[in-house]
Chain A
Amino acid sequence: MASMNIIGTSVKRTEDYRFLTGGGQYTDDVAPHHATYAVFVRSPHAHAKIKGIKTDKAAKARGVHAVYTGDDIAKAGINGLPCGWLITDVNGQPMKEPPYPVLAQGKVRHVGERVAVVIADTLHEARDAAELVEVDYEVLPAVVNGAEARKKGAPVLHEIAPDNTCYVWAIGDKAKVDDVFKSAAHTTKLEFVNNRLIPNAIEPRAAIGNYSRAEDAYTLHVASQNPHVERLLMTAFVMGLPEHKVHVIAPDVGGGFGSKIYLYGEDVVVTWASKQINRPVKWTADRVESFSSDAHGRDHVTTAELALDKDGKFLAMRVHTTANVGAYLSTFASCVPTILYATLLAGQYTTPVIYCEVTAVFTNTTPVDAYRGAGRPEATYVVERLVETAAREMKIDPAEIRRRNFIKEFPYQTPVALLYDTGNYNATLDAATKLGDVAGYAKRKEQSKARGKLRGIGYSCYIEACGIAPSSVAGSLGARAGLYEAGEVRVHPTGKVTVFTGSHSHGQGHETTFAQVVASRLGIPMDDVHIVHGDTSKILFGMGTYGSRSIAVGGTAIVKAVDKVIAKGKKIAAHLMEAAENDVEFSDGIFRVTGTDKQVPFGQVALTAYVPHNYPHDKLEPGLNENAFYDPSNFTFPAGSYVCEVEVDPDTGKTSIESFVAVDDFGKIINPMIVEGQVQGGLTQGIGQALMEGCRYDSASGQLLTGTLTDYCLPRAEDVPHFKIDTRETPCTHNPLGVKGCGEAGAIGAPAALMNAITDAIGVRDLAMPATAETVWRAIAMKKAA
């Protein structure tokens, strides 16, 4: 029999047929019988006291079933939304955790905050009635900028944080770092903003609560990246509902990028309200709502310094960051600018000492949480902009300065807590410089010059930490959840297999990749394997998908369950072949007795397990169904090198990306086609951050200025180049597949490469993202003037 090993092959995706023919089932496509529609009344002010809410007109409007405000939620005993990670500050004190109400209680703290909900028979009726809700606001001064919010006299958002500070947290040896800086041959200092981004998954968030009196149970359809966590938070912390009576289904989900990880107030409201009115309650965000109510990303202001010796060896790094967390702490907001950021500041380098201090600040803006990369893009930006700038200042080739400082021996303990298990940074950088024909760059620059254009080249050698783990370490750092994953492999009597995974696919292609893994391991055709995700009543448990953890953690849980199936199968096969269990081996879907021609196929073993006539009943239960939980012993550490070449038109400031090369080391790759797709998508979001995306608030009023797709610039097809992508493979050492994860790399590595290229092209030291044509043009003009 031919080998069924299809790991490493670009199998076409199983899920595509339904998506291509309109057969996807996204939350808004679900239409429960008798559904009602919810519309949220949202705050038009960034900061205001609610003096009163009049709902009577709305309540009497046509088709309206109910209007609820924060008072109703409070009366119902519903708690605020919890934060999943406790950060302990530099003084050993817990971070400030102000209540995050499901519907505003007495005060609103950002534009778009939920104030009331109107539920009616049709969406039109609910919208009309929402207009009739009268909220009496006393507008307060607002603050939207993190640094401003820390100043004396700034408007105070929460009583428990009179200085608007959530925490001041630090990592590393400050005294040692300060010492090194005093005597270093060269130091480089940069101050920059990591611009706030609005995720904009193309499917808006949506939720449908459906309470059944007959069963005294709830069903929640929701566009979520992790249905089990959503259920756990909602039942155990917010609503006090019995967990086993709440069924959460996250069907097809149209992209997430982090924004659909969190438990949102809308999900709680529709679930609760469906019992109050005894009808399903459906809510789908419109895009304008998404802009002000989906968790945002990034928003750091940083001062970063690098100390070097005379040969360009890195001696120390010192970083101070103010992280704007928005008006409330979203589900994982607190760990993003700390655990997922500062720990990555070693990058790919041997910098011996690093100190980083992070001040997290509340402002009158939408809460900020993990967005594709989550902390790691911010860290990479700091490291790679510093390194490139230092190289320019010291007149060392930017690739060469990196090579001089690469970590070459593994495992490597960084000074900021992480233990890199493996890597080969020269390999990716060598490949990227070849693929990008860096050797021919000087000539291309001349050609650009002849055309009146400014050409620049920029590198970015990023590292990321994926599959955040292990639970015990995360717990000691403040995580309030485990970080394992669950999987179940159900072999049916005919030898077909259904796999249940706690990971969630919202574009990543798990139905294909995971099936490749299982089919290869069991030696059966991929068509015989079906992957199920996103449903709490089918899947035993799950931590969901974020942090590029699906294959490394979720995939490994499945592998462990498959191995248990094989182990049990060997016992059954040994019985059938009258052999000792130890003499039975399994490969390519066949159990064999070593050294003989005795064999039974997998399908026969499966059938025997369910029709156990000839069966070792004294030793074994019938059936062939196994589950496994996998708690990794470490993060995985994908890394790569990006080289970007741009051409800037000095007259208009417009940047065109002439070449973008990405060479990533994701360890073993299951499906190269899917991995490339993830890189392309990530790069495009990174390019978006560098060139065009930037959330803006009016500093006086706190109004969201980029609140629609006409004001917030998402990358279009003509904004991105044809990418040149390749991979190198250094397998992860601590999971059986040798995989690392690939979902966020592009978004992590791309911004620094681009900004390094643009600053090189126009000859300035630094430039703010997004580097729009106007920003670049002004920088050129200022340089000329100077």
Chain B
Amino acid sequence: MPVKVSMTVNGKPVSAEVEERTLLVNFIREHLRLTGTHVGCDTAQCGACTIEMNGDAVKACNMLAMQAEGAKITTIEGIAAADGTLHPMQEAFREHHALQCGFCTPGMVISAIDLVRRHPNPSEEVVRAELDGNFCRCTGYHNIVKAILDAAPKVAAMR
């Protein structure tokens, strides 16, 4: 049975008819063609699909599109400023070489922003522990941790 879903994605209202079993991540990738949100697993562990929903980082592979009815969603495509200027967290990732293949990166950046929202002044231990929902197979996390620690005060100041 197709169902109608409506939500706001990156500031724009969107709606579509989807099969009931459509996952939110597939809705975002296939229907909206916002392919920056990635799929890296089928057990809700890798975090490549992380998006911001109603202010929280969530794994878009782990819920149905229907469950996001009326939600306010930001994907990686909506993180930089409208003129393309990178968000301080994105800039810190670039500055510290916190990405290699880039596949985990969208989810990492969104998780990192959420992390700083919850811990405005995190220690290295907190950053490492809080990243347990995001796998990166390339970087060894070293530079991701550095980037987050560096960006934290700047991101916290944005709020």
Which A residues fall within an 8 A CB radius of B?
A: 10, 12-13, 15-26, 28-29, 31, 124, 200-204, 252-255, 257, 284, 286-288, 506-509, 673-674, 676-677, 680-685, 708-710, 714-718, 720, 722-723, 746
Contact = CB atoms under 8 A, between A and B. Distances in A.
B104 A287 contact: no
A463 to B, nearest CB: 22
Nearest to A204: B40
Given A252-B101, A287-B42, 12 more contacts: A13-B94, A15-B102, A20-B86, A202-B40, A202-B104, A254-B38, A287-B41, A507-B100, A677-B100, A717-B128, A717-B134, A720-B142
Given A21-B86, A507-B101, A709 B43 contact: yes
B101 A21 contact: no
Nearest to B79: A21
Given A21-B86, A203-B103, A716-B131, A13 B97 contact: yes
Contacts of B141: 680, 684, 715-717, 720
A21 B77 contact: yes
25 contacts: A12-B95, A17-B86, A17-B94, A20-B99, A21-B36, A21-B76, A22-B34, A26-B38, A26-B103, A29-B29, A200-B137, A201-B101, A202-B38, A204-B40, A254-B103, A507-B100, A508-B100, A676-B97, A677-B97, A677-B138, A680-B143, A684-B142, A715-B141, A716-B128, A717-B136
B97 A20 contact: no
Interface in B104-129: 104-106, 109, 124-125, 127-129
A16 B36 contact: no
Contact of B75 (A13, A22, A204, A718): A22
A255 B75 contact: no
A19 B105 contact: yes
Contacts of A203: 38, 40, 101, 103
A506 B103 CA distance: 10
B50 interface: no
A19 B104 CA distance: 9
B19 interface: yes
A673 B45 contact: no
B115 to A, nearest CB: 11
A79 B146 CA distance: 50
Contacts of B103: 24, 26, 201-203, 254-255
A22 B35 contact: yes
A391 to B, nearest CB: 29
B140 interface: yes
B99 A22 contact: no
A287 B43 contact: yes
A16 B40 contact: no
B138 A718 contact: no
Nearest to A123: B26
B3 interface: no
A654 to B, nearest CB: 15
B2 to A, nearest CB: 12
B132 interface: yes
A364 B48 CA distance: 32
Contacts of B38: 26, 202-203, 254
A288 B42 contact: yes
Interface in B21-56: 21, 29-30, 33-43, 45-46, 48
Nearest to B106: A22
B41 A709 contact: yes
A19 B84 CA distance: 13
Given A674-B97, A680-B142, A202 B46 contact: yes
B76 A16 contact: no
Q: Which of B33, B38, B125, B143 has the most CB of A within 10 A?
A: B38
A284 B35 CA distance: 14
Nearest to B76: A22
Contacts of A709: 41, 43, 45-46, 135
Contacts of B138: 202, 255, 507, 677, 681
B14 interface: no
Point out which of B43, B48, B80, B100 has the most chain A C-beta atoms below 10 A from its C-beta: B100
Nearest to B131: A717
Contacts of A720: 140-142
B100 A681 contact: yes
Secondary structure of the B side of the interface?
A: loop
Contacts of A18: 102
Contacts of B39: 28, 204, 284
A647 to B, nearest CB: 16
A19 B102 contact: yes
Nearest to A16: B94
A642 B44 CA distance: 35
A16 B92 CA distance: 11
Contacts of B144: 717
A516 B104 CA distance: 26
B94 to A, nearest CB: 5
A23 B36 contact: yes
Contacts of B139: 677, 680-681, 684
Nearest to B127: A717
A254 B103 CA distance: 5
Contact of A714 (B80, B93, B128, B135): B135
Q: Which of B43, B124, B135, B142 has the most CB of A within 10 A?
A: B142
Contacts of A507: 100-102, 138
A685 B29 CA distance: 30
A319 B81 CA distance: 59
A254 B131 CA distance: 19
B82 to A, nearest CB: 12
A714 B125 CA distance: 19
A746 to B, nearest CB: 8
B101 A202 contact: yes
Contacts of A28: 29, 35, 39
B137 to A, nearest CB: 5
Given A673-B97, A720-B140, A287 B36 contact: no
Given A20-B86, A202-B135, A507-B102, A31 B128 contact: no
B99 A16 contact: yes
B73 interface: no
Nearest to A505: B101
Nearest to B91: A20
B66 interface: no
Nearest to B130: A717
Nearest to B86: A20
A22 B94 CA distance: 14
Contacts of A204: 39-40
Contacts of B37: 22
Nearest to B90: A20
Question: Quick one: which of B30, B93, B97 has the most chain A CB within 10 A?
Answer: B97
Contacts of A12: 94-95, 97
Given A21-B36, A709-B41, A717 B101 contact: no
Nearest to B10: A22
Contacts of B60: none
Nearest to B35: A29
Contacts of A676: 97
Contacts of A252: 101-102
A712 B109 CA distance: 25
A683 B36 contact: no
Given A20-B105, A255-B100, A680-B143, A201 B94 contact: no
B145 interface: yes
Given A203-B101, A257-B137, A677 B143 contact: yes
B132 A717 contact: yes
Nearest to A682: B140
A722 B125 CA distance: 11
A708 B40 CA distance: 12
Contacts of A24: 36, 102-103
B100 A722 contact: no
Contacts of A15: 102
A21 B99 contact: no
Interface centre among B109, B132, B138, B139 (most CB of A within 10 A): B138
A685 B99 CA distance: 16
Contacts of A508: 100
